[in-house]
Amino acid sequence: MNKATESDTEGRRERKRRETRERIQQAAMGLFLERGFDATTVDEIAERADVSKRSFFDYFPTKEEVVFAWQDRFADHLMEAIASRPAEEPAVKAVQHGLVSALVSATDERSLALTELVRNTPALRARDHLKYAKLEAKLTEGLKARAKGAAEEQRMRLLAAIVMGALRVGGERWNEQPPGASLEEFAHHFFADFWVTLAAFGEEGSKA
């Protein structure tokens, strides 16, 4: 087998694995939203996805991991959004616009339903907190790529941690918004207030 053929075979194999993984995710999320997380079994997911139970576990070690695989996609959206911002743009502006862009692109009817599912399922709520650690690591990675020098990298690490705290609060406030509210407008208004509040804390700290 020549190199080109080997490459084609590998490409088909990877594509098939990706398609199978996505089919399992789609089947699982459909069942979770129809019946609830706890009432859905792995056997039922495998049957709807037309795979064996063993194949399910080849892709996902638990039912919980299927849910959070959807959330993990947001981390990738965030990295891409930060990387797409102009290199000369201030880090604070890059974070705000990159984060808002990632939020808007990753938010649809199913993702909103997923958020509600997690909120109403005790088995998922505890695991949900880990997503912020993953997002912070991704955001730190993206910001460090823009940094020049070790000192700047430390500042970017701190900025990532602060922004993740804001994202938690922002998420809680977004859940209180009326139906039909614009996520993009809400997020930009929220961050505008956040930066002002952060600056005020800095002024208070300098006088302490």
Residue 150: exposure state from Cβ atoms within 10 A (0-12, 13-18, ≥19): exposed
CA gap 136, 159 in Å, rounded: 10
Q: Are 118 and 110 in contact (CB under 8 A)?
A: no
Architecture category of domain 1-61 in CATH? Orthogonal Bundle (1.10)
Confidence at 126, pLDDT banded by 50, 70, 90: confident
Q: Can you give the pTM of this predicted structure? A: 0.73
Question: CB burial class (10 A; 0-12, 13-18, 19+) of residue 23?
Answer: middle
Q: What CA–CA distance (Å, rounded) separates 170 from 173?
A: 5
pLDDT (0 to 100) of residue 67: 86
- Given the structure tokens 């692109």, which residue do they identify? 105
**Of 12-16, 110-114, 164-168, which gets the smallest average pLDDT?**
110-114
- Asked if residue 107 lies in contact with residue 74, where contact means CB atoms within 8 angstroms, the answer is no
* Delimiting residues of CATH 1.10.357.10 domain(s) in the chain: 63-207
C-alpha distances in Å from residue 171, one per residue of 87, 124, 164: 28, 17, 10
Q: Which CATH number fits domain 63-207: 3.30.1360.200, 1.10.8.60, 3.30.460.20, 1.10.357.10?
A: 1.10.357.10
Residue 197, SS3? Answer: helix
**Between 84 and 10, the higher pLDDT residue:** 84
Q: Rounded to an integer, what distance in angstroms lies between the CA atom of residue 87 and that of residue 53?
A: 47
Residues of the chain with CATH 1.10.10.60: 1-61
**pLDDT tens per residue across span 16-55:** 998 999 999 999 989 998 999 999 999 999 999 999 999 9
User: How far apart are the C-alpha atoms of 157 and 39, rounded to whole Å?
Assistant: 41
The type of residue at 53 is: K
User: Looking at residues 121-138, what average pLDDT do you find?
Assistant: 83
